[in-house]
């Protein structure tokens, strides 16, 4: 069974600074995908970034980047130049292939951005 662990229930960052959110996962599959989702108070789940396990290069989307350490089963999210609009709950999730396409979510990290 897959597990996703986010060890930081809450984080805070000053506007314009950089923050890193941690995520570890466990899977026995060799082919899997990892995701970071953002959920602002509007409750809309927004895909921030995705990483395919077979790709060695870390995914990047504008101010968002990941540090994917496959051997350590670690998938952290770095937010650079933090903005007030980045304040949200962030969920790490994994999909480990198979025909059911189910996502496994971590418990989430609540990010506060201080002006």
Partner 1 sequence: SAVISQKPSRDICQRGTSLTIQCQVDSQVTMMFWYRQQPGQSLTLIATANQGSEATYESGFVIDKFPISRPNLTFSTLTVSNMSPEDSSIYLCSASPSYGYTFGSGTRLTVV
Of residues 18 and 60, the one with the C-beta less far from partner 1: 60
Least separation in angstroms between CB 24 and partner 1: 15
**Given the complex with partner 1, which of 50 and 78 has the nearer CB atom?**
50
Measured from the CB atom, is 17 or 40 closer to partner 1? 40
Q: Which residues bind partner 1 (CB under 8 A)?
A: 33, 35, 37, 42-45, 47, 50, 91, 93, 95, 100-103, 105-108
User: Minimal distance in Å, beta carbon 62 to partner 1?
Assistant: 15
CB count in 10 Å sphere of residue 2: 17
Q: What is the DSSP string of the chain?
A: --EEE---SEEEEETTS-EEE--EEE-S-SS-EEEEEEE-TT---EEEEEEETT--SPPEETTEEEEEETTTTEEEEEE-S--GGG-EEEEEEEE--SSS---EE---EEEEEE-
Closer residue to partner 1 (CB): 75 or 108: 108
Least separation in angstroms between CB 12 and partner 1: 17
């Amino acid at each position: 069974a897959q597990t996703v662990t986010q060890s930081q229930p809450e984080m805070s960052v000053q506007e314009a600074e950089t923050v890193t959110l941690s995520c570890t996962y466990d899977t026995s599959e060799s082919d899997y995908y990892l995701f970071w989702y953002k959920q602002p108070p509007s409750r809309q789940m927004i895909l921030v970034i995705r990483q395919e396990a077979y790709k060695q290069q870390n995914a990047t989307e504008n101010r968002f980047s990941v540090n994917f350490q496959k051997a350590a089963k670690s998938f952290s999210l770095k937010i650079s130049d933090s903005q007030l609009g980045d304040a949200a709950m962030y969920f790490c999730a994994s999909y480990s292939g198979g025909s059911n396409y189910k996502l496994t979510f971590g418990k989430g990290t609540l990010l506060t951005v201080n002006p």
